Structure 1
Amino acid sequence: MSGGLTALAIVLVSIGGVTASVVSYFRLQRHRADAVALAGYRKLAQQAIANQQAIETRLTQLDDRLSEVEKLLRSVG
């Protein structure tokens, strides 16, 4: 009986080890996929910041031009 219990314990430990290895492998694959997705989001965020800065620069230029037009209209009127 003791030999049977030992064999059963060895089988259960082996199955547990294989299960833990498979679970950790798929967890690693999921983590890699998440890292790729986060890199894509980071790239999109950087593009959004660059676009916002470009829009801010353009708005500043338009504000300056509008101020000049207002000055011109005041000087004429």
Structure 2
Amino acid sequence: MSNNNTTPTLEKGIEVKNTTCYMCACRCGIRVTLRDGEIRYIQGNPDHPLNKGVICAKGSSGIMKQYSPARLT
């Protein structure tokens, strides 16, 4: 059984996962690029029926939710 949420890796240690953005109530589809398990890039998912690959500034900055020095742990 294959996992629809992951695309094949292009380079060793690079993985792209399809998921949903939770930065606002729209719940747009996003693609998250991971390198060695850490988030490196967030972009819109062109296959998602709601946003069709377009992502807002909040969604693009979602990476800061994970890595910001001001983040509360």
Higher helix proportion (structure 1 or 2): 1
Higher strand proportion (structure 1 or 2): 2
Check whether TM > 0.5.
no
TM-score tier by shorter-chain length is under 0.3
State the TM-score, normalized to the length of structure 2.
0.19
State the TM-score, normalized to the length of structure 1.
0.18
